[in-house]
Structure 1
């Protein structure tokens, strides 16, 4: 006996009631529960839909779906990290290494032309302010899309949370890195160059997470879930 459309919708509602807010996880759980209910009906056709559903839900343990959500978050976090570093490594091989070197020379030239140590800090702060503004805009766009479609996606949430966390900590890290080397470890000229190199490496990391990875995440979700498009 197959589940009808109303029963499938009831399963989606059931997952939402048990704190699974992301559509991709809801779909996995609904597929699992639907298969289990249909198999149980083949063996015990007299049992009701609600009886079998409650029986299957108890199999998830005391915390319900939370363990499954946590495992999925861990998996997607690892996948997200692998995606970042796979694209990041490309900037250290031909032909993108040329772009990386050109960026370092570009930042160094700007500093040299202005001959002012505060220029580097200004560039760093300006870049991160723009990146933070862009991140907030992207987050707003995702929320609007989720509101209109009535669906949230876990991979998108992980992506935005990771970017927000990175942008929160990195500005102070880069400036402290620059000041530490300038004051304690190396001559001032070299400290500036090291700071410039570190800044360019971080710019690439931010670029990958703000522009490249979202496209890859969208492609992955579109392949798996027709509703995403």
Structure 2
């Protein structure tokens, strides 16, 4: 016995009421609940839709859908990490390693032409500001799209949270490394080179998360959920 469209919408409302705010996870739960309800109605036609729904919800335990949300977050975090490293490793194999080396040489040349070691922290801060601007713009665009469509996506949220965390933590770590080596190493140029290498590596990581991964996430969601497009 197939559920009516109104009943399917009721399941979406039910998941939202129980603190599942992401459409991709709602869809999975609705599909699970709908199949269970349809099978139970086939076996016991006298049961009502609401009775079976409440019975199925109790199977999720005391915390309801929260355990499902937590497991899905863990899965998507692992998937997101695999995506990042798969693209990141490409920058250390031909032909992209040439670009990586060119970035380092270009940064090193500019800093030495300016002949002012303090220019390095300025470069880091400038990069942080520019990256922060694009990150907040993407977050704004995703929120705007969510309001227009009435749908939020868990994979998108994980992506934005991860890049925001990276953006605020790693640049400061680079400056700290730079300052530490500047005080302890006799040949100052080596400390600067280490800082430049760290900056290029982190810069690539941020670039991948801001420019490459969002496209891959969008493709992944569009394949699984036609509503995303």
TM-score by length of 2: 0.99
* CA distance, structure 2, for counterparts of residue 88 and residue 112 of structure 1: 28
Give the equivalent residue in structure 2 for 1:141. 141
Deviation for aligned residue 1:47: 0.2
Deviations 1:3-43 (A, max 9, x none): 00000000000000000000000000000000000000011
Deviations 1:159-214 (A, max 9, x none): 00001111111121010011111211452011111111110001100000000000
Give the equivalent residue in structure 2 for 1:129. 129
Check conservation: 2:171, 2:199, Cα contact below 8 A: no
Change (3 A) 1:36 1:181: same
* CA distance, structure 1, for counterparts of residue 170 and residue 89 of structure 2: 20
Change (3 A) 1:62 1:110: same
- Pairwise mapping of residues 12-161 of structure 1 onto structure 2 (< 5 A)? 12-161=12-161
* CA distance, structure 2, for counterparts of residue 186 and residue 41 of structure 1: 79
The number of equivalent residue pairs is 229
Deviations 1:53-78 (A, max 9, x none): 00000000000000000000000000
Check conservation: 2:76, 2:155, Cα contact below 8 A: yes
* CA distance, structure 1, for counterparts of residue 116 and residue 198 of structure 2: 18
Please, what is the CA RMSD of the aligned residues?
0.7
* CA distance, structure 2, for counterparts of residue 101 and residue 171 of structure 1: 20
In structure 2, the gaps of 5 or more residues are: none
In structure 1, the gaps of 5 or more residues are: none
Give the equivalent residue in structure 1 for 2:3. 3
Deviating beyond 6 angstroms after TM superposition, the runs of 4 or more aligned structure 1 residues are none
Q: Secondary structure at 2:60's aligned position in 1?
A: coil
Give the equivalent residue in structure 2 for 1:187. 187
Q: Does 1:214 align with 2:214?
A: yes
Q: Secondary structure at 1:166's aligned position in 2?
A: helix
TM-score by length of 1: 0.99
